[in-house]
């Protein structure tokens, strides 16, 4: 059993002692606001009404809504410009460039590695096992005193599967640093979010997003759920007005449409299984992996050829054949019923 983790000790010394920027809205939120050098005459056209003001720096209302949805407190919620902002901030907070390292479990989402590259942080790779599950002992063996973060993606991109609960719990309990569980696709899964684990594990960060199940990738709204101390550091390091007023407005409005969101999730899950059944009949399809997400990982006889031929027909899927354990695999997003039918018909034509 690892000794009790001190989050403060994991934080880079410069961030620990950082005096954050105080924006005008930190001091007063209402009154005759002549403190932020905004344009007092307003925005130049009617649809932009109100946008001459800076947005709320801490987004309390939105964080409250998200906390309610996930049965947490607003102090456990960070909102930012996509999950990618949260990933970037975690590197800035915890990883000393050229000294610290992170562990990732390929095949997995590419930004963990890209962000490490940006921050000059070493990446240790411990590939998933052949069932696409994390290898707990190997991961723990790979961790050293400079291993600050472990990224787990569940349901995993590009494989689509959920990681087993016992493995996640073992890693969250035993890993001597921050464990990030990326739940971008959690709402398509038949198991529930691990967000409640943050109540007992201060070193856990759960990432979510409005880009997938909410259908709002265009507004760029990502979420980190974590202990209050981690969220405080994220708020300290983020840009003062990271979430813009339009994103915030649309995100809040989305919470008035949870029924439609739920309906879309159910429909996409149904379509995913329909697509799976139909793909099974396509010549050249060798294996369709189980999925708890809104996409399928599919092994073809010749994935490069299929990928290129589909693209010629203007059907674009993602080639993942270069990833470990994903030889000859394409990742296919579940489309509308019409789109899925078109894909299947085209694949059948190409196989003739």
Ligand X SMILES: Cc1ncc(COP(=O)(O)O)c(C=O)c1O
**What residues make contact with ligand X under the rule CB under 6 A?**
82-84, 109, 153, 157, 182, 184, 209, 211, 217, 222
Burial class of 243 by CB neighbour count within 10 A (0 to 12, 13 to 18, 19+): buried
Choose between 84 and 187: whose C-beta lies nearer to ligand X. 84
Q: What residues does 209 pair with on adjacent strands?
A: 222
Separation of alpha carbons 345 and 334, rounded Å: 15
Which residues make Cβ contacts (< 8 Å) with residue 336, sequence separation at least 6? 271
267 contacts 188 by C-beta, under 8 angstroms:
no
Which residues make Cβ contacts (< 8 Å) with residue 289, sequence separation at least 6? 132, 159, 160, 161, 296, 297, 298, 299
CB hemisphere CA count around 52 (13 angstroms): 13
Separation of alpha carbons 213 and 215, rounded Å: 5
Shortest separation between residue 208's beta carbon and ligand X, angstroms = 8
What backbone torsions phi and psi does residue 274 show, to the nearest 5 degrees? Answer: -65, -45
Q: What residues does 125 pair with on adjacent strands?
A: 104
Choose between 105 and 211: whose C-beta lies nearer to ligand X. 211
Largest CA distance in the chain: 72
Shortest separation between residue 243's beta carbon and ligand X, angstroms = 12
Choose between 25 and 84: whose C-beta lies nearer to ligand X. 84
Separation of alpha carbons 202 and 220, rounded Å: 26
Shortest separation between residue 115's beta carbon and ligand X, angstroms = 11
Choose between 217 and 311: whose C-beta lies nearer to ligand X. 217
**Which residue's Cβ has the minimum distance to ligand X?**
82
Choose between 203 and 211: whose C-beta lies nearer to ligand X. 211
Choose between 62 and 184: whose C-beta lies nearer to ligand X. 184
CA 11 to chain centre: 22
DSSP string, 154-222: SSPTTT-PPPPHHHHHHHHHH-SSEEEEE-TTGGGSSS--SGGGGGT-TTEEEEEESSSTT--GGG--E
- Token look-up 């707990």 returns 136
Choose between 51 and 319: whose C-beta lies nearer to ligand X. 319
Choose between 51 and 152: whose C-beta lies nearer to ligand X. 152
Choose between 25 and 194: whose C-beta lies nearer to ligand X. 194
The helix (H) or strand (E) run that includes residue 14 is helix 13-16
């Amino acid at each position: 059993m690892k000794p009790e983790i001190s989050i403060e000790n994991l934080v880079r010394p410069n961030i620990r002692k950082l005096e954050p920027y105080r924006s005008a809205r930190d001091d007063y939120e209402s009154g005759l606001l002549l403190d932020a050098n905004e344009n007092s005459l307003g925005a130049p056209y009617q649809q932009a009404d109100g946008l001459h003001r800076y947005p709320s720096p801490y987004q309390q209302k939105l964080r409250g809504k998200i906390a309610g949805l996930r049965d947490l407190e607003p102090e456990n919620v960070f909102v930012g410009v996509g999950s990618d902002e949260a990933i970037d901030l975690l590197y800035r907070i915890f990883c000393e460039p050229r000294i610290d390292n992170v562990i990732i479990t390929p095949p997995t989402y590419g930004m963990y590695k890209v962000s490490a590259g940006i921050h000059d942080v070493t990446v240790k790779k411990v590939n998933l096992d052949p069932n696409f599950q994390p290898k707990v002992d190997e991961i723990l063996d790979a961790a050293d005193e400079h291993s600050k973060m472990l990224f787990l993606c569940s349901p995993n991109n590009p494989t689509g599967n959920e990681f087993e609960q016992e493995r996640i719990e073992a890693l969250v309990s035993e890993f001597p640093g921050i464990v990030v569980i990326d739940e971008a696709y959690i709402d398509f899964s038949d198991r529930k979010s691990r967000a409640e684990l943050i109540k007992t594990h201060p070193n856990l960060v759960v990432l979510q997003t409005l880009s997938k199940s909410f259908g709002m990738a265009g507004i760029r709204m990502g979420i980190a759920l974590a202990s209050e101390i981690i969220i405080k550091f994220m708020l300290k390091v983020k840009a003062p007005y990271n979430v813009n007023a339009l994103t915030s407005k649309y995100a809040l409005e989305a919470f008035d449409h949870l029924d439609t969101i739920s309906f879309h999730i159910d429909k996409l899950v149904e379509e995913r299984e329909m697509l799976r059944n139909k793909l099974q009949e396509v010549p050249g399809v060798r294996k369709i992996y189980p999925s708890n997400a809104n996409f399928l990982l599919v092994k073809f006889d010749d994935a490069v050829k299929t990928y290129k031929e589909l693209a010629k027909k203007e059907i674009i899927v993602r080639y993942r054949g270069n990833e470990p354990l994903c030889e000859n695999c394409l990742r296919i997003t579940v489309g509308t019923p019409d789109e899925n039918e078109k894909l299947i018909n085209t694949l059948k034509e190409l196989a003739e």
